[in-house]
A = this chain, B = another copy of it.
Amino acid sequence: MPQLTPLGVTALAVLAEGDMHPYEMYQLMLARKEDRVVRLSPGSLYRAVERFAADGLIAEVGVEREGNRPERTVYSITPAGRAALRASIAEMLGRHVNEFPEFPVAIGEAHNLPAGEVIRLLGERVASIRETIGFIDASLEGIAARGVATAHVLNVHYTRAMLVAEADWLDSTISQLGTGALAWPGPSN
């Protein structure tokens, strides 16, 4: 039972809702804006589906053709697939693993830049984060207006909370850099 990738989890999850061919999965995921949550490209999706079939997580249930359109291969999730899906979700929920975000790398090497530039750049970052939070709030309002339960958009709330925390940390750090409370060891020019 190999650990699924993030794309693998969302792909298997849509197949768990009903038999489908890969292109239909792709369209459905796009319609649901899953590409905001997971890296979604046709190439990766088809490769993932191939792997699922090889691992017995899904089974081919037929080949359709509409007119002279390309053939489409319809797949169905297997019991092993459902088990792997649940196991992977549980694993991702229950254990925190380091995913090596790139901002810590940048701030770890920020001493290569002068204090003034770092302050300016962090200011730009916090502005772009607050803009994103604004988009999220607008989208959450629309969702609430349509009566969607919070549980169905928990991931949006999570992402918002993380962005707010980062913006707050940046604000505090910028102000400490500005007052000199946080001495900067970098180049002066």
- Which B residues are CB-close (under 8 A) to A162? 162, 165-166, 169
Closest CB of chain B to A178's CB: distance in Å?
14
Cβ of A116 within 8 Å of any chain B Cβ, yes or no, is: no
In chain A, positions 142-161 with a C-beta closer than 8 Å to chain B are 149-152, 154-155, 157-159, 161
Cβ of A66 within 8 Å of any chain B Cβ, yes or no, is: no
- Which B residues are CB-close (under 8 A) to A184? 151
Closest CB of chain B to A152's CB: distance in Å?
7
What is the interface size of chain A, counting residues whose CB is below 8 A from a CB of the partner?
A: 65
Bound Cα distance from A159 to B108, whole angstroms: 11
The A interface is mostly helix, strand or loop, or mixed, namely helix
* Identical chains bound together, number: 2
Cβ of A73 within 8 Å of any chain B Cβ, yes or no, is: no
Cβ of A39 within 8 Å of any chain B Cβ, yes or no, is: yes
Per-residue 0/1 for A114-130: is the Cβ within 8 Å of any B Cβ (1 yes, 0 no)?
Answer: 00011011101100110
Bound Cα distance from A150 to B176, whole angstroms: 11
Bound Cα distance from A143 to B173, whole angstroms: 19
Bound Cα distance from A98 to B19, whole angstroms: 31
Contacts from A to B (Cβ < 8 Å): 6, 9-10, 13, 16, 36-39, 85-86, 89-90, 92-96, 98-113, 117-118, 120-122, 124-125, 128-129, 132, 149-152, 154-155, 157-159, 161-166, 169, 173, 182-185
